[in-house]
């Protein structure tokens, strides 16, 4: 277990920059998620931590010691790949014991450790099988066991759940979290799925274009997104982002004019979460364009004074028909204002 630090880390390929600049500190035993769209540099960062790639600039430190030049094989990092990367020519037991072959460990002791870890991830009945004889979920567990058997300083999970079906994903989410707590191993999860990130990790790092956009808890990211990117990436269904213009303490969005409290001027973007909009007689006129029942709630799209917005209402059945005229209001304290040019959040909101 270790405290991990990345200082000004940068990775450049010939002709392209994968990671612009990463500054991050991860506490010993913490579980953090790196969340971002594909191509944002999250897997590159992961492979730099594992020692497969070496950073072009900056420093990676384990427990305060620089490890930039330490080879992958000496870093004692466990990694679970999206494809699981099991060795097809070996049995499950040999797969799990593979990392121990390179350490000075007696075979008997190694096997005992492998069996112990196999019991922890609940695959002790499958040890004689070949990877090709296992289901996706089982392969996933083998990969996890193999990463954990060497008692790693750091556990890296690269999109570990994306190859599983929906119900298995739910189970493995809980399982990985349980195992991580039990072992207390510092863990970094890389994912593009916000549900995975928010349910499993203590803290989330949102990455975009090779940079960290924001770091915080799921609540921070959802309620106080620092940038437009974070606001739009976190939350499902996505936040409504409406272009507007602030002048003289007033904001104009399409046909609506609203009062602003706080400092803001010029072109801005107004963000309203779908659950913050509600049908209320005191609101602005709008017309339902689409009603999509999603099980527990209904997602509506409405065209009105604010433009096209999405909002949700609890309930299994749609209460408003398509084409129906309604009146939409919102909670002013739940609105977010962003500077259009820089994309940063402004310290201002709609006044009630």
Q: How far is the CB of 87 from other proteins (least distance, A)?
A: 5
Please tell me the count of residues contacting other proteins according to CB under 8 A.
Answer: 29
Q: Strands across the sheet with 325-330, in order?
A: 307-314, 297-304, 277-293, 325-330
Q: How far is the CB of 112 from other proteins (least distance, A)?
A: 19
Query: x/- binding map, residues 22-51, to other proteins, per CB under 8 A?
Result: -------------------------x--xx
Q: How far is the CB of 159 from other proteins (least distance, A)?
A: 11
CB-wise, 59 or 74, nearer to other proteins?
74
- Among 131, 137, 160, 307, interactor with other proteins by CB under 8 A: 131
Per CB under 8 A, does 87 bind other proteins? yes
CB-wise, 68 or 199, nearer to other proteins?
68
Per CB under 8 A, does 224 bind other proteins? no
Per CB under 8 A, does 114 bind other proteins? no
Q: How far is the CB of 184 from other proteins (least distance, A)?
A: 20
Residues 91-110 that bind other proteins (CB under 8 A): 98-99, 101-103
Per CB under 8 A, does 1 bind other proteins? no
Residues 60-79 that bind other proteins (CB under 8 A): 72-75, 77-79
Taking residue 328's Cβ as centre, other Cβ atoms within 10 Å add up to: 22
Per CB under 8 A, does 122 bind other proteins? no
Taking residue 52's Cβ as centre, other Cβ atoms within 10 Å add up to: 14
CB-wise, 146 or 203, nearer to other proteins?
146
Per CB under 8 A, does 189 bind other proteins? no
Taking residue 281's Cβ as centre, other Cβ atoms within 10 Å add up to: 7
Per CB under 8 A, does 150 bind other proteins? yes
CB-wise, 132 or 167, nearer to other proteins?
132
Per CB under 8 A, does 204 bind other proteins? no
CB-wise, 158 or 213, nearer to other proteins?
158
Query: Which positions touch other proteins (CB under 8 A)?
Result: 47, 50-52, 72-75, 77-79, 81-89, 98-99, 101-103, 131-132, 146, 150
């Amino acid at each position: 277990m270790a405290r991990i630090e990345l200082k000004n880390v940068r990775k450049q390929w010939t002709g392209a920059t994968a990671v612009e600049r990463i500054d991050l500190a991860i506490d010993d035993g913490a579980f953090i998620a790196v969340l971002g769209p594909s191509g944002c540099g999250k897997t590159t960062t992961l492979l730099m931590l594992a020692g497969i790639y070496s950073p072009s600039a900056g420093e990676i430190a384990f427990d305060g010691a620089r490890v930039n030049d330490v080879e992958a094989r000496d870093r004692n990092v466990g990694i679970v790949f999206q494809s699981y990367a099991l060795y097809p020519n070996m049995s499950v037991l040999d797969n799990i014991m593979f990392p121990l072959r390179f350490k000075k460990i007696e075979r008997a002791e190694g096997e005992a450790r492998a069996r112990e870890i196999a019991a922890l991830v609940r695959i002790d009945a499958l040890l004689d099988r070949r990877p090709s004889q296992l289901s996706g979920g089982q392969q996933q567990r083998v990969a996890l066991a193999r990463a954990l058997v060497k008692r790693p300083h750091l556990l890296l999970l690269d999109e570990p759940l994306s190859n599983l079906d929906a119900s298995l994903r739910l189970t493995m989410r809980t399982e990985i979290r349980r195992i991580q707590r039990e072992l207390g191993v510092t863990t970094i999860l890389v994912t593009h799925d916000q549900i995975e990130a928010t349910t499993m990790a203590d803290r989330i790092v949102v990455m975009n274009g090779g940079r960290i956009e924001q770091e915080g808890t799921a609540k921070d990211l959802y309620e106080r997104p620092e940038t437009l990117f974070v606001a739009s990436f976190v939350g499902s269904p996505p936040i409504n982002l409406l272009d507007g213009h602030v002048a003289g303490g007033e904001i104009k969005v399409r046909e609506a004019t609203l009062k602003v409290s706080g400092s803001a001027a010029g072109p801005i973007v107004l963000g309203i979460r779908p659950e913050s909009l509600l049908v209320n007689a005191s609101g602005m006129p709008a017309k339902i364009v689409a009603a999509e029942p999603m099980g527990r709630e209904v997602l509506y799209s409405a065209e009105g004074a604010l433009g096209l917005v999405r909002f949700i209402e609890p309930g299994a059945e749609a209460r408003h028909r398509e084409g129906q005229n309604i009146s939409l209001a919102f909670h002013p304290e739940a609105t977010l204002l962003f500077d259009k040019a820089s994309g940063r959040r402004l310290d201002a909101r709609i006044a009630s």
